[in-house]
Structure 1
């Protein structure tokens, strides 16, 4: 089961004792800060968790799988994530 935004809001309510409206504001503010930082091209580093990076992808040749027709895929930016060593150890039970 995936962790949803609603789950995050509920955990903020439980662990910090905030009201639900305040917890929603906290979660939304955090996610907006991360999104705006990534949109500006900067990386987001969360110590003990990992690093979100913006990578530039060059224009490349592709193919439409439905028709087999060749196409040129435009250059774009993508977000990548690299987990920290602490998170990797926790996931692997070390």
Structure 2
């Protein structure tokens, strides 16, 4: 992981290189293929579930009225699709035990 505590694509590729023995180029290509496949599935409206990790879930939010916090003026918020992540119970347990 980087100094800021963020796991990057490069970190994932480096881990594949070290632990699986793939070349750095092959590891980077594999990471990109997996992420690309996930993005394509989400773009097509499919949810992505990774057992033991969690689910990326698409939700459609309807139109609603929001309020400008500075002025208090009501503003319509257009309907949109949002992506949420729900960690699996196994992941939640690992996070709690790590802290």
Q: TM-score, normalised by structure 1?
A: 0.88
List gaps (5 residues or longer) in structure 2: none
Aligned to 1:10: 14
Structure 2 residue matching 1:42: 3-state secondary structure: coil
Structure 1 residue matching 2:92: 3-state secondary structure: helix
From 46, 50, 55, the counterpart of 1:51 = 55
List gaps (5 residues or longer) in structure 1: none
Instruction: Output the aligned Cα RMSD.
Output: 1.7
Structure 1 residue matching 2:7: 3-state secondary structure: coil
Distance in 2 (alpha carbons) for counterparts of 1:34 and 1:52? 9
Q: Any runs of at least 4 consecutive aligned residues in structure 1 with deviations exceeding 6 A, and if so which?
A: none
Aligned length: 94
Structure 2 residue matching 1:24: 3-state secondary structure: helix
Q: TM-score, normalised by structure 2?
A: 0.84
Say whether residues 1:92 and 2:81 are aligned partners: no
